[in-house]
Amino acid sequence: MVKKVAILANGGDVSGFNAVIRAIALTAKKHNVECYGFIDGYNGLLKNEYVDLIGTHMISGILHKGGSIIGSSTNANVFNYKVNENGQTVYKDLSQECIDNIKKDGFDCVFTLGGDGTQKSARDFFVRGVNVIGVPKTIDNDVACTDITFGYNTAVSVATEALDRLHTTAETHHRIMVLETMGRYAGWIALESAIAGGADVALIPEIPYDIDKVVDKINERRKEGKDFSIVVVSEGAMPKGGSITVENTRDNGAGVDNTKLGGVGNKVAHELEKLTGLEARNTTLGYVQRGGTPTAFDRTLSTKYGAKAMNLALEEKFGRLVVLKNGVLDSVSLEDVVGNNKKIGAVSGNTEESNIRKVSMDSDLVKTARSIGICLGD
Ligand code: F6P
Give the mutation target among 149, 150, 180, 260 for probing the ligand 1 site: most ligand atoms within 8 A of CB.
Answer: 260
Report d(CA 10, CA 17) in Å as an integer. 10
Share of the chain above pLDDT 70, in %: 99
352 has a pLDDT exceeding 80: no
State the distance from the centre of ligand 1 to the C-alpha of 214, rounded, in angstroms. 27
Three-state secondary structure call for residue 265: helix
Across the beta sheet with 201-203, the strand order is 201-203, 229-234, 176-181, 280-284
Considering 13, 40, 124, 140, which one is annotated as catalytic? Answer: 140
Query: Residue 255: left if φ>0, alpha if ψ -120 to 50, beta else—which one?
Result: left
pLDDT value, residue 339: 92
Q: How far apart are CA 236 and CA 208, in angstroms?
A: 10
Ligand 1: does its nearest atom lie under 6 Å from the Cβ of 189? no
**What average pLDDT does the segment 293-303 reach?**
98
Ligand 1: residue whose CA is nearest its atom 11:
260
Query: Domains of the chain by range and CATH?
Result: 4-150+294-338 (3.40.50.450), 155-290+361-371 (3.40.50.460)
Q: Which atom of ligand 1 is nearest to the CA of 289?
A: 4
Q: Choose the residue to mutate in 182, 191, 264, 348 for probing ligand 1, maximizing ligand atoms within 8 Å of C-beta.
A: 182
**pLDDT at residue 256 greater than cutoff 80:** no
Say whether pLDDT at 252 is over 80.
Answer: no
Q: Is the CB of 182 under 6 A from ligand 1?
A: yes
Ligand 1 center to residue 230 CA distance, Å?
Answer: 24
Averaged pLDDT for residues 111-119: 96
Whose Cα sits closest to atom 15 in ligand 1?
74
Residue of minimum CA distance from atom 2 in ligand 1: 12
Atom index in ligand 1 nearest the CA of residue 257 equals: 15
Whole-number pLDDT of residue 253: 75
- Please give the average per-residue pLDDT across 275-285, as a whole number: 98
d(CA 134, CA 334): 8
Is there an atom of ligand 1 within 6 Å of 290 CB?
Answer: yes
Atom of ligand 1 nearest to the CA of 287: 4
Model pLDDT, residue 148 = 98
pTM to 2 decimal places: 0.97
Q: Is the pLDDT of residue 362 over 90?
A: yes
Mean of pLDDT values over 304-322: 98
Q: What is the mean pLDDT of residues 89-114?
A: 97
CB distance 52 to 21 below 8 Å:
no
Point out the ligand 1 atom lying closest to the alpha carbon of residue 235: 8
pLDDT tier, 119 (very low <50, low <70, confident <90, very high otherwise) = very high
Close Cβ partners of 30 (under 8 Å, ≥ 6 residues apart): none
Q: What is the pLDDT of residue 340?
A: 87
76 — pLDDT class (breaks 50, 70, 90): confident
Q: Ligand 1 centre and the CA of 63: distance in Å? A: 23
Distance 261 CA to ligand 1 centre (A): 8
Query: Is 124 a known active-site residue?
Result: no
Confidence of residue 29 (pLDDT cuts 50, 70, 90): very high
pLDDT at 254 over 90: no
- pLDDT tens, position by position, 330-350: 999 999 999 988 888 876 767
* pLDDT confidence of residue 75: 79
CB-ligand 1 contact for 12 (6 Å cutoff): yes
Residue 184, ligand 1, Cβ within 6 A: yes
CB distance 288 to 183 below 8 Å:
no
Q: Are 97 and 66 in contact (CB under 8 A)?
A: no
CA 184 to ligand 1 centroid distance, Å? 7
Q: Ligand 1: distance of its center to the CA of 218 in Å? A: 30
Whole-number average pLDDT of the chain: 96
Query: What's the start-to-end Cα distance of the chain, in Å?
Result: 55
The residue whose CA is least distant from atom 3 of ligand 1 is: 12
- What pLDDT, in 10s, does the model give residues 175-231? 999 999 999 999 999 999 999 999 999 999 999 999 999 999 999 999 999 999 999
